[in-house]
Copies of this chain bind each other. A is one copy, B any other.
Amino acid sequence: MMVITKIKDMQTAMQQYRREGKTIGFVPTMGYLHEGHVALIKKAREENDIVALSVFVNPLQFGPNEDFERYPRDLERDQRIAKEHGVDVFFSPDVKEMYPHPLSVQVVVKERVDVLCGKSRPGHFDGVATVLTKLFHIVMPDRAYFGLKDAQQVAVVDGLIRDFHFPIQLVAVPTVREEDGLAKSSRNVYLSPEERKEAPALYKALLQAKAAVENGERNAEAVCALVKQYIQTHTHGEIDYAEIYSYPDLKPLETLAGKVIIAVAVRFANARLIDNIILDIA
């Protein structure tokens, strides 16, 4: 596995692969890799000649009161996991390499961001779209892999690739869960033992909603109420949102139809957890 920290070196390496006619799968991450990331790597490994993985905790997508400083980092462990799962190129630039001076240009996301996490994290998706625009040009992949746990991120990247005509195929990979249903996340390490026990309630609440829809419930408000009630009853967390939208457009719905996302965010003492399910309603 090649380990690269400089943009120029990365561009040169990837250009060489492209010249050889090799297809490139790209897994952009913020590191502290877990099985969710491994699922992305495995999918990329299946579909491409070369798998490139980036680890970059992007300051631009953190708000002033968010966890940029204490976001978990372990580059050695990340390299080991990446190597074990067949990553060919491991790209881990530092902040100075990615932002050597104030950016003269930035990507601003105008749709799909006034709801869910975008609403409570202003500027977050601008930071995501900007760093991905940089990374996409550095890596120039054929396919880019994202986890559906961050379903709004997938929707934003879908818009970014479509509207800017990036010659890249977006591959969305289902959420990987612990045995008790908790969605894998680097932020799970923040949870106290008691919170960890409560955390699977997010997914259980979503499954309750799913069951209600399967039993014929089509009223969005009623389904949201179910989700909220379950979480309030089973956790000490504070609900940030529990909402339903069309997917990937993220438009509000009164009556459920077509592809919809039910998404929740819950604040615990030391961590804010998110989860979602996407349903295709006939």
Contacts and interface: CB of A to CB of B under 8 A. Distances in A.
Interface of A: 7, 11, 15, 102-112, 129, 133-134, 137-138, 140, 156, 159-160, 162-167
B165 A138 contact: yes
A119 to B, nearest CB: 16
Nearest to A8: B165
Nearest to A15: B167
28 contacts: A7-B165, A15-B167, A102-B110, A102-B111, A103-B163, A104-B109, A104-B110, A104-B112, A104-B156, A104-B159, A104-B160, A104-B162, A105-B107, A105-B108, A105-B109, A105-B111, A105-B156, A105-B159, A106-B107, A107-B107, A108-B108, A133-B133, A133-B164, A134-B163, A134-B164, A137-B165, A137-B167, A140-B167
A1 to B, nearest CB: 23
Contacts of A134: 163-165
Q: How many monomers of this protein are in the complex? A: 2
Given A105-B163, A108-B108, A137-B164, 17 more contacts: A11-B167, A15-B167, A102-B110, A103-B110, A103-B163, A104-B111, A104-B159, A104-B160, A105-B107, A105-B108, A105-B129, A106-B110, A133-B133, A134-B163, A134-B164, A137-B167, A138-B165
Contacts of A109: 104-105
- The 6 A-B residue pairs with the shortest CB-CB distance, nearest first, are A104-B159, A104-B111, A137-B165, A108-B108, A103-B163, A105-B160
Contacts of A163: 103-105, 134
